[in-house]
Amino acid sequence: MNVVVVRYGEIGTKARQTRRWFENILMNNIREALVSEGVGFKKVEAKHGRVLVRTNEPEKAVETLKRVFGIVSLSPAMEVDASLDKINKIALRLFRRKKRELGIERPRFRVTARRITKEFPLKSPEIQAKVGEYILENEEGEVDLHDYDIEVGVELMEGKAYVFVDKVQGWGGLPIGTQGKVVALLSGGIDSPVAAFLMMKRGVEVIPVHIYNGEKTLEKVRKIWNQLKRYGYGGKAELIVVKPGERDRIVQKLREMKKEKYTCVLCKYMMVRHADRIAKEFGAKGVVMGDSLGQVASQTLENMYIVSQATDLPVYRPLIGMDKEEIVAIAKRIGTFELSILPEDEIDYIPKHPVIRGSWEEFRKIYRAVFGEEPKQRGC
C-alpha cells in the first residue's frame, strides 16, 4: 500500500468556498496527527471530495487518523495508473492477501468500482465485471454482491486508480478548528470528559478547565485530558487548573447559616464563574458541562437554572438527554472510563441532603451573605 484514501462526510455538503476552508483545516489536522504519532508521510492532498495521504505505513496511518474528527471512513490503498491490466493485477494481489488474512478457502466477494472523474473508458459496472472475472480466473472464490467476505474497491480519478480491500470507519463529526472554542469543565467523573469529547467531535476546540480539589483528582484529570487529546488534533489547549481561593470560608459560612444544602449548587455556580472568566480571556464562546437531567437527585432544571445564571455565554450540555448507560458506553469506547473510575480526593464538604429544587431567591440571599454582593444574573 502506498496511500490512504480519506473520505469525509458533512464537509462535502457545504458551499464550495466553505468546503475548501474545511478541507484545509482537515488536512492540517491530519498532518498534525501523523506528526505527533510519528507516522511518516510524503504528502497530504485534497482531490474531488477525497483526501489522499501518501505514506509507506498506511495501516499505522489509519490507526491514527480514525481518531481525527470529520473523517467518515479510511482505506489503505494502492495507487496505480488507471489501466485495466494494472488494476487487475493489484486487485488480485490485495484479494489474495485479504483471503490469507481471513483464512477462508473460497471467499465470497464483490468488486465495487467508482469513477470520480470520468476519463477512464470503461463504466463502473464494466470495470467491476472485468476485475471480478480476472480474480475468478486466478483464485478460488465466488461473487456475491450482498453477502460477501471481501469487498475489492476501485476508485478512479485523474488517470489514477486506487485499489483497496479495507474500509475503516471514522467518528464523523467536523474537523476541530472549524467551529471556534468553548471552555469545558472537567471534574474527573465519567460524564464531563464525554461531554467535552462530543463537542470536540463537532469541530470545537475545547479548553479544559479543572477546579482544583486535591492532587489525586488533579492527577486523574491530567490523565483524562491526555486521553482526550488523542482526539484533539487541531486543538492547542492545555489543561487549566483553577485553585478556588476561599472555599473553606464559603463552606464554613454556609454551615453557620444552616444552608449546607446549597453547597453543591453554589460550588457549581462558582465553577461556571471561573469558566466564564477563562472563556472571555481565550475568546471562547460557550461553557460545556456534563449534566444529564435527573441523573442524581440534585441535577434538576431548577438547580441548572441557578448555575446557568453565572455566565451570559450559552452553557452546552451534550449529555442532557442521555441515560447513564449511554454515557458510560461512550466513555468506554473513547478510553476515558477506566481513568474516570480511578480514586479521587474525598470532598468532605458535600452535604448529606443537597437541595433538590433550589430557589433563585434563596440562592441570592445566600450569595449576598457569603460575598456581600449580588450574584451575576442573566437577563436582568
Q: Which residues are annotated as a binding site for ATP?
A: 185-186, 268, 290, 299
Residue located via cell numbers 487518523 = 65
DSSP state of 236: -
Nearer to a second copy, 10 or 139 (CB): 10
The CA angle 229-235-236, to the nearest 5 degrees, is: 90
Strands (E), the chain: 3-8, 43-47, 50-54, 71-81, 108-115, 142-143, 150-157, 160-164, 168-169, 181-185, 205-211, 240-242, 287-288, 315-316
Residue 234 CA: distances (Å) to CA of 60, 105, 208, 279, 309: 19, 44, 15, 18, 31
Rule CB under 8 A: say whether 59 interacts with a second copy.
no
Q: How many whole angstroms separate alpha carbon 90 and alpha carbon 221?
A: 48
Residue 315 CB, shortest distance to a second copy, in Å, is 6
Q: Which one, of 282, 261, 287, 126, lies nearest residue 192 by Cα?
A: 287
Q: Which one, of 157, 159, 163, lies nearest residue 87 by Cα?
A: 163
Residue located via cell numbers 494502492 = 78
Rule CB under 8 A: say whether 376 interacts with a second copy.
yes
Left (φ > 0), alpha (ψ -120 to 50) or beta: where does 31 sit?
alpha
- Window 155-184: residues binding a second copy (CB under 8 A): 172-174, 178-182
Rule CB under 8 A: say whether 49 interacts with a second copy.
no
Rule CB under 8 A: say whether 201 interacts with a second copy.
yes
Nearer to a second copy, 9 or 335 (CB): 9
Q: Which of 52, 199, 331, 366 binds a second copy (CB under 8 A)?
A: 199
The CA angle 93-97-99, to the nearest 5 degrees, is: 115
Q: Which stretch binds a second copy (CB under 8 A): 48-56, 88-96, 159-167, 297-305?
A: 297-305
Element (H, E) at 9: none
Left (φ > 0), alpha (ψ -120 to 50) or beta: where does 214 sit?
left
Rule CB under 8 A: say whether 304 interacts with a second copy.
yes
Rule CB under 8 A: say whether 378 interacts with a second copy.
yes
Rule CB under 8 A: say whether 198 interacts with a second copy.
yes
Q: Which of 141, 153, 188, 203 binds a second copy (CB under 8 A)?
A: 203
Contact characters 306-345, a second copy, x per CB under 8 A: --xx-xxxxxxxx-xxxxxx--------------------
Q: Which stretch binds a second copy (CB under 8 A): 36-44, 91-99, 210-218, 301-309?
A: 301-309
Nearer to a second copy, 24 or 377 (CB): 377
DSSP state of 12: G
Nearer to a second copy, 64 or 308 (CB): 308
Q: Which stretch binds a second copy (CB under 8 A): 124-132, 157-165, 207-215, 300-308?
A: 300-308
Rule CB under 8 A: say whether 6 interacts with a second copy.
no
Binding residues for a second copy, rule: CB under 8 A, are 9-10, 14-15, 18, 172-174, 178-182, 195, 198-199, 201-204, 285-286, 292-295, 297, 300-302, 304-305, 308-309, 311-318, 320-325, 376-380
